Structure 1
């Protein structure tokens, strides 16, 4: 493993999203290659113009409308979007724990966590990260978009993933209206980084067999909070295979996070003390004392954790972004039904 990156168990109880098992926290140091822009990263220019970069290539251009009610997307044409090395059969067989159990999730979190750290061109950068098994939800249960920057809080929990079948739809350009609350546009939707493989592809067939017997490795997703979407970092074919078999694919979510402290609350703190006293009177065993101590720390001095996606300055700013988008539109004969970006 690359020196300096520490792994600890994720003790967060209040991510406010359904989790499938135990996860890991990654602490990436502020030195060496971790200070550089990662291989896959977001860049920003004024007026909510964004660009997703992959290995020095423009993967996606995004513009959020000034009223925060619409968002438009254009895909670039990178030769090879960012990805982890393909999983080999011996690597999959090495995870011998019962699928779906906590030890199975822990083994895959460690495997993919090491792969992220050891990748020659990593998506990680200096800071704290969470790698956690996730459960998908029904699209109609997803929350709506923030329709104003006034509603956008610093350090919110990630939105639960949903609409997994979006990995099969690879649009070159599209527009979203965040007022309409269409299911496939709600926070938490998956955003594929490449077109889907053919259903008859050999790797798809291999993963379908694993999906049927319950040994399909988890797909790896990265949350981008300003877009409220999960980028499929690794496992497009595994999600595709699971969908073809009609089963729920296992998902591992990755997101950077920050910590903020909650304001003091006399009611919350007095309630915590009364609860601790009640538990200790019932029997102060070592297990009870340990549980009470954790609850008291949580009530009096427990940080709130939320995700904030880092963006780097876009070289050339707004004009460079506009020039690239204009060049894309000249090269691609695709009718654009939305309002003109100019």
Structure 2
């Protein structure tokens, strides 16, 4: 998103106090949350409110059967919407093909509207939080989507990675998620992640490169041995893997200060 893009997106987190925050869409509050307890392991108590609007348009059966490039299409819609979280900076919209065990069963929040999240030491939770109630498996729209799930034509849901939760908000596809789960499989997912700005990751890359060159120089200056070539290959491979991932590493999800009157 360009530098002249919005500073405060329509869908955003706002700080209330050190222990309280809210998720707002425009001026409408969608979540009110507070942390409880002392130490690094706290509980996050939250209440979700009605009125959430998806940033994506309704997906018809005909559209799903065309099997478009979903990440590209979702990215285009997110740029054009007036209800989403995008603001200036770099964002990654991509398929999410694997999760740790439990994300779509025990770590999927199905209580509504109140919920309690057990934050692990360091603040993490690592689950999926819907922004409206998940419908029943026999709801009319879910039944229609279950047919698509069986046919392999169900569009992916859209998840937003939130760093301070170490988890995701379900932005679009509540009915589709319910349909996939009713058919015995987690839904296909597209993940929205805010990634580090160019200046930040390039500065990190420069520091890593300097450290790599120092290690390589020390290795070259040491007496050669039978495993010297192996050590150099391992050193170069590790450096390449780290550098190649830097532009796509998740950045912190901002929490905005409330707008002043």
Mapping 1:246-285, distance limit 5 Å: 246-258=184-196, 259-260=200-201, 261=204, 262-263=207-208, 264-265=211-212, 266-267=214-215
Partner of 1:85: 57
User: How many residue pairs get matched?
Assistant: 237
Among 155, 165, 176, the residue aligned to 1:227: 165
Q: Does 1:38 align with 2:9?
A: yes
State the Cα distance separating 1:43 from its structure 2 match: 0.6
Unaligned runs of 5+ in 2: 221-227
Return closer, same or farther for 1:121/1:60 CA change in 2, 3 Å cut-off. closer
Answer whether contact 1:269 1:299 (CA < 8 A) is retained: no
Q: Distance in 2 between matches of 1:296 and 1:169?
A: 42
Q: Which whole-Å CA distance do the structure 2 matches of 1:269 and 1:187 have between them?
A: 42
User: 62, 73, 77: which is aligned to 1:115?
Assistant: 77
Q: Residue 174 of structure 1 corresponds to which residue in structure 2?
A: 115
CA–CA distance in structure 2, aligned partners of residues 300 and 130 of structure 1: 17
Report the TM-score when normalising by structure 1: 0.60
Kept in 1: contact 2:52–2:131 (CA 8 A) = no
Contact kept? 1:62, 1:71, Cα under 8 Å: no
Q: What aligned pairs does 1:327-342 form with structure 2 within 5 A after superposition? A: none
1:22-171 correspondence runs (5 A): 28-31=1-4, 34-65=5-36, 67-95=39-67, 107-134=69-96, 135-139=98-102, 162-164=103-105, 169-171=110-112
C-alpha deviations, 1:14-67, integer Å up to 9, x for none?
xxxxxxxxxxxxxx1011xx2242121101134232111123211111223453
Which segments of 5 or more consecutive residues in structure 1 lack a partner in the other structure? 1-27, 97-106, 140-161, 279-291, 317-342
- Is residue 2:259 matched to residue 1:311? no
Q: Secondary structure at the match of 2:84?
A: coil
Maintained 8 Å contact 1:53/1:60: yes
Aligned equivalents of 2:219, 2:56: Cα separation in 1 = 47
Q: Aligned pair in 2 of structure 1 residues 74, 269: CA closer, same or farther (>3 Å)?
A: farther
SS in structure 2 of the partner of residue 306 of structure 1: coil
| Cα displacement (A) at 1:309 | 0.2
For residue 269 of structure 1, report the CA deviation from its aligned partner.
7.5
Supply the distance in 2 between the matched residues of 1:299 and 1:69 (Cα, whole angstroms). Answer: 30
Shift in alpha-carbon separation, 1:171–1:121, aligned structure 2, 3 A: closer
